[in-house]
A and B are shown apart, each in its own frame.
Chain A
Amino acid sequence: MQYAIETRNLSRRFGRTEAVVDLTMTVPAGSVFALVGPNGAGKTTTIKTLMNLLRPSAGEARVLGTDSRALGPATLQRIGYVSENQVLPEWMSVTDLMAYCRPLYPTWDAAFADTLLTQLDLPRTRPLKHCSRGMKMKAALVVSLAYRPELLVMDEPFAGLDALVREEFSQGILEVAGGERPWTVFISSHDIDEVERLADWIGIINRGRLELAEPVSTMLARFRQIEVVVDGEAQVAEGQPATWLRPEAAGHTIRFVDSAFSDSDIGAAVRGRYPSARDVAVTPMSLRQIFITLARVYRLSE
């Protein structure tokens, strides 16, 4: 399998603060990889390191096969970058911005850029400093998509955007993602809802450490909300498997999240721990529910 992004033991410190710790991660080419985590988890630092905006304190990162520290024009011509932290040249209009970027990219597709502008309903001649935050983000997206990059890196692109703009933004990405050319999207967000529709891979980062990274389908398949109704007063049994997360008891019911769900095993496993179980209900979980569960688990473990 080819990887658009690979990191190996990547670390980045700011003085005594460890923003990213020993991060080893692979982003398969052609995937839409969402790196999610709470605010301050290290997502932006990771992305800035990938984009050579920051140098790693230790370890290494490779982007499209190039060491991030040696990321030059040839590689950057294949990468799109949209970030809430990026300061656009606000004295330019959208048209100026496109004129500024166009000569820098041999693969610039003017017709496609025009289509995106129309689709995202962007004012072409208004200076960016007079545009809303949503418009600026859309402008950044257009000049990052117009050359059909092999890799699109987005750092919190939806932060502060209203629902309509988010929808338009997502449509813009989906439009390209659904095109003929295979490409990779690496997107960071603190809100799983924002990336749920887009991502096919998920990575969860917490306090600078990558807690997990796997395909969304795998994750959805292995996480289940389990609800066990027992006779008498429910009590969480001791010695539960480590993969049963956040167990809690209320009345006659015990609830937990199975993070290694197997359809064939769950009944026997539950009854092995709870012999008085009358009923076992298994409910699929959304990404959001999984994310919240994991976030609480990580917080408790700190």
Chain B
Amino acid sequence: MLSTIRHLMWHDARSLRVTLAVWAGILALQMGVVAVGPMFVGSGSDRADVNLGQGVIVMRLAMTVILTALLIQRDTAVGTTAFWLTRPIRPLAMWAAKLTSIAGWCLLLPAALAWVLFIGLGLSAGSAWEAARQLLIEQTVCAAYAVVAASATATLAHFVVASLAAFTAVWLGTLTARAWQDSLPSITLPGVNAILNAWMLVLVAGALVVSAHQYITRRRFRTWVLAGVCLVVAHGTLVVVRNTPGLDPAMWSSRTYTPPAGVEVRLGDTVTDEPADVTGSSGLVVTGRALSTTVWAMSPSDTDVLEPVGVRSSMATTTAEPVTTIRWSESLRRGLWWTNAPSVVDDQPIRSIRQALAVDRLAVPSASLLATPLYRAYLAEWPVEAYKAFAAKGGGILRAEVVVKAYRYHVGAAVPLRAGASYALPDRWLRVTLVERTPRGIVVTIRTAFVSPFDANVARRGGVQYLLRNRARREALFFTDQHTSNTFLTLGTTSFGPGTGLRRFEFDSQRPSNGTIALTNAWVDGAELVVLIPVDLGMFTRSAEVWVQPNGVAK
């Protein structure tokens, strides 16, 4: 059977040689765009970088779908007219040949090219594999959908119609299911991206089963039913599988952090109480009340930074008996937001960075650069009947189990401040391409290649930070957020995927809010560009509570 599979694959490749050449061209184009695109696009030019990058990504995904459909439908198992059906070819051999071809051309080839690209860009083999793996996952999901649709249809036209119908059904079904999400049973899985992993595994298994069923039995109606079941289960997985309530999957850490004495985890003094659409116990959306407050965590440590990343809560009355369990709204399960808390000065990141840099003076151009995102707003939704019971008792205690992440900055790399200087860490590579003096200070342009999703988001708390440091003077300076521009081209559809970028940092000596550092020639001659990387220390949970009166008065 193996020789038959090889024979079939060879003929597939031969018959689709023009399409495969186009496919190879698209892959080469994308790799080329990612490798050198940012240099040609320039920085901040009307989002041309995004358009170019997204354009080739769309081409790649579209071609993946087309190539998968062509590979399967050239020897379709739908209908009774295909040539191969009356030839001495085992259905299992044909199925294996198709799936192996798809795996080779649509999955492994792009992943291999991505691996070579990132090796060529200076990343380690492990990081290049991580970049390739992200592309592999994207291609696998895309091809799996195409396999399901192509297995149940005989022509590209039918494939397109079936795909559109399935897409619409899945979209409407998912929207409907989301409205009932709280009343559905949930499955909690540990680990980073558990939801996506579960979804992908179900989808790939479903695609294998659906295609094998059609090739072996050729019973199309049953295949359609199986395809429907596959899509429902895969997308049902997205609805019912959760990492942990209120926890951002990207923030997940499996380690446990033991907080030092003096750590303070608090709920905000102000609780907002306002009408909101709430999913009631019946599953229907009703008008209720929403309470929202901020959560913050402070550390006395000069090195460790604390950040609240999740919360579980219940509301208790004065008798300490819970009136109801407050469910965090669905939007918050998927993304919490930052908020300002101007009354509290959070200098944890500054202290950690100062320690990491070993400087006496750290000039921060904007107070909000690091302090702003300390606090996270949390929203609790409450059906109106429950709220009335709460109000009738004169208020209650909002009690929360706050999940806190801890991290610490350390110097990832330090390179001399001159064009051509470069460094390579396992998961990122950087080269200084231009150093310009301006009336306000210095503009440094760098080319970079990265795997870490957080590298791309400069202003994000807990992300990679770039600074200028003069070691002899024990002084360091942050770049100015307002005059910094980034051009990023990523390999995948997500904006935090592996990719390359051209970044332009302005270090403005006149802007720091906590004292000016004069960027003299002598200072600049001894300066280096420092890349600070947060090291994950783990997580811990701490209880916090606040008394809430009706209308949101906390005391």
Contact = CB atoms under 8 A, between A and B. Distances in A.
A220 B203 CA distance: 63
B88 A89 contact: no
Given A73-B88, A76-B88, A104 B4 contact: yes
Interface in B71-95: 74-75, 80-83, 85-90
B15 interface: yes
Query: In which size bucket is the chain A interface?
Result: 20 to 34
Given A54-B80, A87-B81, A81 B86 contact: yes
Contacts, number: 51
A53 interface: yes
A79 B83 CA distance: 14
Contacts of A89: 15, 74-75, 83
Contact of B88 (A48, A54, A77): A77
A239 interface: no
Interface in A58-96: 72-74, 76-77, 79, 81, 85-89, 91-92, 96
B84 to A, nearest CB: 8
A105 B88 contact: yes
A103 B7 contact: yes
Contacts of A53: 80, 85-86
B83 A74 contact: no
Interface in B6-46: 7, 11, 14-15
Contacts of B3: 103
Contact of B15 (A91, A103, A105): A91
Nearest to A87: B81
Contact of A88 (B7, B80, B83): B83
Contacts of B14: 96
A4 to B, nearest CB: 16
B81 A73 contact: no
B80 A73 contact: no
A37 B14 CA distance: 41
B82 A73 contact: no
Interface residues of B, number: 18
A81 to B, nearest CB: 4
Contacts of B15: 89, 91-92, 96
A73 B85 CA distance: 10
A149 to B, nearest CB: 11
A298 interface: no
Given A48-B80, A104-B4, A86 B86 contact: yes
Nearest to B93: A73
B87 A76 contact: yes
Contact of B89 (A48, A92, A104): A104
A100 B86 contact: no
Contacts of A54: 80
A245 interface: no
Contact of A87 (B4, B7, B83, B87): B83
Contacts of B75: 89
A91 to B, nearest CB: 5
Contacts of A99: 11
A101 interface: yes
A73 B89 contact: yes
A85 B80 contact: yes
Contacts of A85: 80-81
Interface in A185-228: none
A91 B74 CA distance: 9
B211 to A, nearest CB: 19
B109 to A, nearest CB: 21
A257 B75 CA distance: 50
A51 interface: yes
Contacts of B87: 76, 101, 104
B83 A76 contact: no
A48 B15 CA distance: 27
A48 B3 CA distance: 28
A110 B75 CA distance: 25
Contacts of A81: 86
A103 B1 CA distance: 12
Nearest to A82: B86
Contacts of A105: 88
A203 B72 CA distance: 38
The 8 residue pairs across chains A and B that have the minimum distance between CB atoms = A73-B88, A53-B80, A76-B88, A81-B86, A77-B88, A87-B81, A91-B15, A104-B88
Interface of B: 3-4, 7, 11, 14-15, 74-75, 80-83, 85-90
Interface of A: 48, 51, 53-54, 72-74, 76-77, 79, 81, 85-89, 91-92, 96, 99-101, 103-105
Given A86-B83, A103-B3, 12 more contacts: A51-B86, A54-B80, A73-B90, A76-B86, A76-B87, A76-B88, A85-B81, A87-B83, A100-B11, A103-B4, A104-B87, A104-B88
29 contacts: A48-B80, A51-B85, A51-B86, A53-B80, A54-B80, A72-B90, A73-B89, A73-B90, A76-B87, A76-B88, A77-B88, A81-B86, A86-B81, A86-B86, A87-B81, A87-B83, A89-B15, A89-B74, A89-B75, A92-B15, A96-B11, A96-B14, A100-B11, A103-B3, A103-B4, A103-B7, A104-B7, A104-B87, A104-B88
